[in-house]
Structure 1
Amino acid sequence: MSIVPVWKPSKETIEQSNIFKMMQKKGFDKYQDFWKWSVANKEDFWASTVKNLNIQLVENYTSIVDISKGVENAEWLKNAKLNIVDSCFQNDDDAIAIIFQESGKELQKVSQKQLLELVNKIANGLINLGLKVGDSIAIDMPMTLEAVAIYLAGIKAGMPIVTIADSFTPNEIEVRLKITEPKIIFTQDVLHRAGKEIPLYKKVVASNAPKAIVLKSSKENIELRNEDLFWDAFLSSKTEFKTVIQKPDDIITILFSSGTTGDPKAIPWTHTTPIKSASDGYYHQDIHKNDVVCWPTNLGWMMGPWLVFATLINKATIALYYDMPTGNGFGEFIQNTKVTMLGVIPSFVKYWKTSKNMEKYHWNSIKCFSSTGEVSNADEMNYLMQLANNKPVIEYCGGTEIGGGYVTSTVVQPNIASTFSTQALGGEFVLLNDNHNKCSKGELFLIPPIMGLSNTLLNRDHYKVYYKGTPTFEGKLLRRHGDELEELENGYYKAQGRVDDAMNLGGIKVSSVQIERVLNSLEFIKESAAIAASPENGGPSLLVIFYVENPSHLIENQRLQQAINCVKEKLNPLFKVHDLVKIEALPRTASNKVMRRSLRDLYESK
């Protein structure tokens, strides 16, 4: 298979793109001039974008953004009234909203009308249980038709959704439930993964969850707690439901992102956050009406809600495959559903390249890929491009507290593997060195206001986390994010990992402190420091543990295996310990803070 290092857009690709249409409207010939306009004229850009996406407003806004309380407290769609779910149902009734496949079964298609009726049945079921506007609901499920419908139904009924990833351990589920106190939780009896059935309801029960609504996916009988209900007993037969209309800053979703102090940050999304998701999908992933969008993910990660809004608001079809995205069944699913935009995390691509198992499928319908969650490897991304006969990879990096990306690629610029070609439209950032001077490689700071940026945290002081102590740039208040980027000579960007104590593992953000807290319970560890090391040739970070020894009879291999098992069982089975390194003492600053960056440099220089 030949490797093409750079993809260049054809005149036809450029002229069919959503970006080009907007450039034409605003009188721009060059993309870079258009981006500059989008940040110099944010009000005009975002007002035009709200119009492009046809966001359904019951009452119009008096101003697109109000910064009278400071850019850190920007109010978007001031005085408007809406429910963002109404904007997810703008296609034809018989248009396909979701196409899905359970492993080994036939493809199934759900029209927009059928999805809306299911959403309404669920919303009525919530009311029948006695829930009220403002009550929160948790979802701990795989990404299925029902999960998407529950998610939309809760928001439509004015009930914020607490999203929990189905891979979490009972400990991690319980932490999230304690922070958000949902009235009920939706879950499934088991997960189906590569021919195995993995208990999910049992994990939910072990986490001291509230009343559970349980979808049955296995033939095995399961016994529910007295207060719990099976899905069929919960679901209403009533297919009409009046949308609850709210203010733009009312909470629709509570997602979690690892802080650097242990417990995850609880980040609320409001009715305006999905506009950022849909905007990125419209401009950067170039999603068009009736396109088919697949991105293996979960509602517990921001890409789950992103997928729902970026696809449905743009009148496209969500493609959901119910099993692992690494097996042959997934490749056939992409082929048969004629996916036009396929999202990945680099770990998937690494597996596909090693196994070569996707090469036999015809992915000719794909117009572009998109990659997020981890630093990618150029060889692997070049390989991915060739799986669809040389299609671009839209590198995409952002955050849960952004509702989308801050740096990305486009289909109107040349595509270079593992690099970002632009700052996201409607947003701006600056790179600063340790002396707070602008530089080509340094810490990234966002320049607010940007549609989608969070204004509150449920369990932290938002200002302290994102703004306190940040430098200013050209008189502008900056917002910290924690990523390090390098700007290349051609104006493109390359990801350099994190500058803080967080890391991305398997597409999931986690703090070093969370990992260290569970590892410090092991008998042979006196204290530990977790770092994310970069592989020599680039690609996803490797989890490396430095530790100071407690005297122990365990040999090296036994210690490594204990560390692997501990992280898998107490945090997440997707986190894999790559290496365990004994050290006499952890390097510390004068204020006793562990110098993880020094450990990372030490490991990577070996």
Structure 2
Amino acid sequence: MSLENIWIPSSNFIQNTRLYKWMKKLGFTEYELFYKKSIEDQQWFWKEAEKELAIPWREKYEKVLDVSKGNEWPIWYKGGKLNVIDLALDRWVKNPKDASKHALIWEGEDGTCLSYSFLEIAGEVNNFAGGLRRLGVARGDVIALYMPMIPETVIAILAISKIGAIYTPIFSGYGTEAITTRIEASKAKLVITADGYKRNGKDIFMKDELDKALLGCPSVNQVIVVQRLNIKVNWVKTRDHYWTECMEGSTLEATEVMDSNEPLLLIYTSGTTGRPKGCVHTHSGFPIKAALDAAIGMNVTQGDILFWYTDMGWMMGPFLVYGGLLNGASIVLYEGSPEFPNPDRLWKLIDGHSVTHLGISPTLIRSLMKHDASWVDHHQLNTLRVIASTGEPWNDDSWLWLFKQIGKERLPIFNYSGGTEIAGGILGNILIRPITPSTFNAALPGMAAQVYDDSGKAVRDTVGELVLTKPWVGMTRGFWNEPDRYKQAYWSRWCDTWVHGDWAVVDQQGFWKITGRSDDTLSIAGKRMGPSEMETVLVSHRAVHEAAVIGVPDSIKGEMAICFVVLVETVLEKEQIRQELVSYVTKKMGKALKPKRVHIISDLPKTKNGKIMRRIIKAAYLQKQLGDVSAIENQKVLQDIFKLQSE
């Protein structure tokens, strides 16, 4: 890799990062020594972490970590009392200088903009908390949020937490079946929704979808509706309430004092395979892990402006809230499509709100880079300091496009990998080390990451299972009401070892790469391969814009690769391109890994936040039951894939 393709931090840059300043304060100047200490002495590290974030405890904890019940069930900050409201709002409101600063900035797809100071948000939260109390919501009750990315969504999250209830966010693009499944699994008694929202210039009607879903949810007895579109909706008088009504009346000043390990939220996985898993997160877990990763990973600090293009139903939605607000930064919410009305909407939003930290997915970038470069050139983007990415493995071409076209070869790309169950990241690109395309330059502090081979031995330069050998703050406290399923999912393969479900490789220099989900892995003639390896080769071809690779049964090799590609432009000689791509991959990867077939399709099945759903592709191609596909934004392409077997 030539030097122009690598981001290298200057000495001055390194010394001004929060990570380096923290390390130096603790007596370290080399990351390896600091990292080693962080995983060998967990009590020390996570105590220093909460001190660095200045967590305002109501009652100080007696012990940082208690693992008397095993690594699967750690108790963090044992005996500590707090509420996430203390961390995210109240400490800023108490200081007049901070109270007037922006906490939340919102832009609707129609161009409507609103902003709230920390003091204003606190007032809204207190009002809505009072409304929830009047409706009978109590500590420990579960409330479902089926909401778009609007200010009321954040206000609701914080108000629910203030009264000691538990929220479970549901992806705004889900259909009836997926909504019903999640509400039923959580046994939520109240749902907060909106009449609808705007996306791609259209009105999306949420209340109608929710009403159909609630026919199968007997636990729900009340619904609160935000009038985002101000349209007429079906109304159940004995059940439904307008948001504005709940905001009127007595405000609630008092905040529930919670045990540090009491549930804060339930985040359900996408549910594309089997029943969704409800990951339980606590008041001292998710917020502290998210805030620490934002602070020492992405260098988010007070006064910054953090924007992550996501949905509150995905893990990065709550991450945006806590990663920003706990650090005293402003958070930006955007309601609609990043390509409406023009392909520069995202870049326009960055300039318009002086965003300093941008979070995206690699798939979103692959979608945007197909447009003419002039859409980027119209914008300064000079407030940006860090670009973060998560959700999918990168390929080098799209990484370099982001680095050069958006980052102007000066901005670091904080590649970030973890998950819903992690409350943040396992791997990242720390900003005190060089960054290379598509990789991670470190395991994050406190995360005891290894790559294991089949025998459970740690390996380098070999693809294996990504594991964690010690618990961490932010680790899910099991699945909601399913402890045995949780243990089976993550702790059943090796003793006291979390098996994350990703294939990864780490080289001798300490650079990591995620090659795909381990259940997406191809095994061709005994050779294991993550799909992203072949996808990276495919997109390096001049004709290919995007690619997805799956494995299908083969009587000789056990499994063979089937490739799906989206072309850069319409090509008339499709059969010629197919043959050319088969030869191209074979030449690059070897005859043993020759694809069985390359299919040219118009698009790849993706979720709203840009994840390519390979397991759905495989099910459609093999003409099997697809299960819950309501997370897929472009479902029509599944019908095209279903028909490909006959080609």
Other-structure match for 1:27: 27
Structure 1 residue 228: Cα displacement = 0.8
Which secondary structure state, in structure 1, belongs to the residue aligned with residue 377 of structure 2? coil
Where in structure 2 are the equivalents of 1:291-330 lying within 5 Å?
Answer: 291-327=304-340, 328-330=344-346
Cα separation, partners in 2 of 1:402 and 1:547, compared to 1, 3 Å: closer
Which secondary structure state, in structure 2, belongs to the residue aligned with residue 354 of structure 1? coil
Where in structure 2 are the equivalents of 1:145-160 lying within 5 Å?
Answer: 145-160=151-166
State the one-letter code of the partner of 2:519: D
Other-structure match for 1:470: 493
Tell me, yes or no, if structure 1 residue 119 matches structure 2 residue 116. Answer: no
Structure 1 residue 488: Cα displacement = 2.5
Other-structure match for 2:392: 374
Alignment check: 8 A CA contact 2:281 2:477 kept: no
Tell me, yes or no, if structure 1 residue 352 matches structure 2 residue 368. Answer: yes
Other-structure match for 1:194: 200
Other-structure match for 1:500: 519
Instruction: Render the CA deviation track for 1:386-443: whole Å, top value 9, x for unaligned.
Output: 3132211111110111111111111111111210010011111221112222223201
Cα separation, partners in 2 of 1:373 and 1:261, compared to 1, 3 Å: closer
CA distance in 1, matches of 2:249, 2:356: 35
Structure 1 residue 572: Cα displacement = 3.2
Which secondary structure state, in structure 2, belongs to the residue aligned with residue 147 of structure 1? helix
Instruction: Render the CA deviation track for 1:358-380: whole Å, top value 9, x for unaligned.
Output: 33211111111111011112221
State the one-letter code of the partner of 2:323: A
Alignment check: 8 A CA contact 1:137 1:184 kept: yes
Other-structure match for 1:408: 428
Other-structure match for 2:525: none
Where in structure 2 are the equivalents of 1:479-494 lying within 5 Å?
Answer: 479-494=498-513
- The alignment's TM-score, normalised by the length of structure 2, stands at 0.79
Other-structure match for 1:453: 475
Other-structure match for 1:96: 102
Structure 1 residue 240: Cα displacement = 4.3
Q: Which residue among 376, 383, 407 is the counterpart of 2:401?
A: 383
Other-structure match for 2:455: 435
Other-structure match for 1:287: 300
Other-structure match for 1:236: 248
Aligned length: 543
Q: CA RMSD in A?
A: 3.0
Q: Out of 180-189 and 451-460, give the one that drifted further.
A: 451-460
Which secondary structure state, in structure 1, belongs to the residue aligned with residue 333 of structure 2? strand
Cα separation, partners in 2 of 1:482 and 1:126, compared to 1, 3 Å: same
- In the alignment, structure 2 segments of 5+ residues that lack a partner are 93-97, 523-529, 532-558, 566-584, 590-609
Other-structure match for 1:48: 48
Which secondary structure state, in structure 1, belongs to the residue aligned with residue 193 of structure 2? strand
CA distance in 2, matches of 1:456, 1:11: 42
Q: Which residue among 183, 193, 198 is the counterpart of 1:177?
A: 183
Instruction: Render the CA deviation track for 1:273-302: whole Å, top value 9, x for unaligned.
Output: 211111111111110111000001122111
Other-structure match for 1:216: 227
Where in structure 2 are the equivalents of 1:333-352 lying within 5 Å?
Answer: 333-352=349-368
State the one-letter code of the partner of 1:278: A
CA distance in 2, matches of 1:248, 1:213: 29
State the one-letter code of the partner of 1:366: L
Structure 1 residue 221: Cα displacement = 2.3
Alignment check: 8 A CA contact 1:167 1:574 kept: no
- In the alignment, structure 1 segments of 5+ residues that lack a partner are 506-528, 550-558, 585-606
Q: Which residue among 164, 168, 178 is the counterpart of 2:170?
A: 164
Structure 1 residue 71: Cα displacement = 2.2
CA distance in 2, matches of 1:277, 1:532: 37
CA distance in 2, matches of 1:542, 1:269: 25
Which secondary structure state, in structure 1, belongs to the residue aligned with residue 125 of structure 2? helix
CA distance in 2, matches of 1:272, 1:471: 27
Alignment check: 8 A CA contact 1:255 1:302 kept: yes
Structure 1 residue 69: Cα displacement = 2.2
Alignment check: 8 A CA contact 2:110 2:198 kept: no
Alignment check: 8 A CA contact 1:121 1:238 kept: yes
CA distance in 1, matches of 2:634, 2:250: 40
Cα separation, partners in 2 of 1:547 and 1:221, compared to 1, 3 Å: closer
Cα separation, partners in 2 of 1:540 and 1:122, compared to 1, 3 Å: closer
Cα separation, partners in 2 of 1:316 and 1:533, compared to 1, 3 Å: farther
CA distance in 2, matches of 1:540, 1:122: 34
Structure 1 residue 455: Cα displacement = 2.6
CA distance in 2, matches of 1:316, 1:573: 31
State the one-letter code of the partner of 2:263: I
Structure 1 residue 329: Cα displacement = 3.0
CA distance in 1, matches of 2:168, 2:443: 30
Q: Which residue among 122, 125, 132 is the counterpart of 2:138?
A: 132
Cα separation, partners in 2 of 1:234 and 1:124, compared to 1, 3 Å: same
Where in structure 2 are the equivalents of 1:42-81 lying within 5 Å?
Answer: 42-81=42-81
Q: Out of 303-312 and 324-333, give the one that drifted further.
A: 324-333
Percent of paired sites with the same residue: 28
Other-structure match for 2:236: 225
- The alignment's TM-score, normalised by the length of structure 1, stands at 0.84
Structure 1 residue 271: Cα displacement = 0.9
Alignment check: 8 A CA contact 2:272 2:627 kept: no
Which secondary structure state, in structure 1, belongs to the residue aligned with residue 519 of structure 2? coil
CA distance in 2, matches of 1:238, 1:319: 29
Cα separation, partners in 2 of 1:276 and 1:142, compared to 1, 3 Å: same
Alignment check: 8 A CA contact 1:4 1:382 kept: no
Cα separation, partners in 2 of 1:569 and 1:64, compared to 1, 3 Å: closer
Cα separation, partners in 2 of 1:3 and 1:572, compared to 1, 3 Å: farther
Structure 1 residue 212: Cα displacement = 1.5
Which secondary structure state, in structure 2, belongs to the residue aligned with residue 71 of structure 1? coil
Alignment check: 8 A CA contact 1:157 1:243 kept: yes
State the one-letter code of the partner of 1:361: H
Instruction: Render the CA deviation track for 1:317-339: whole Å, top value 9, x for unaligned.
Output: 00112221234333211112111
Instruction: Render the CA deviation track for 1:215-253: whole Å, top value 9, x for unaligned.
Output: 112243223222211211222344442110011111110
Other-structure match for 1:598: none
CA distance in 1, matches of 2:252, 2:292: 29
Alignment check: 8 A CA contact 2:60 2:79 kept: yes
CA distance in 2, matches of 1:462, 1:56: 35
Alignment check: 8 A CA contact 1:444 1:483 kept: yes
Structure 1 residue 262: Cα displacement = 0.8
Other-structure match for 1:39: 39
Other-structure match for 1:249: 261
Instruction: Render the CA deviation track for 1:530-572: whole Å, top value 9, x for unaligned.
Output: 99979779996563336798xxxxxxxxx9xxx99x7796553
Cα separation, partners in 2 of 1:567 and 1:332, compared to 1, 3 Å: farther
CA distance in 1, matches of 2:630, 2:356: 38
CA distance in 1, matches of 2:395, 2:15: 30
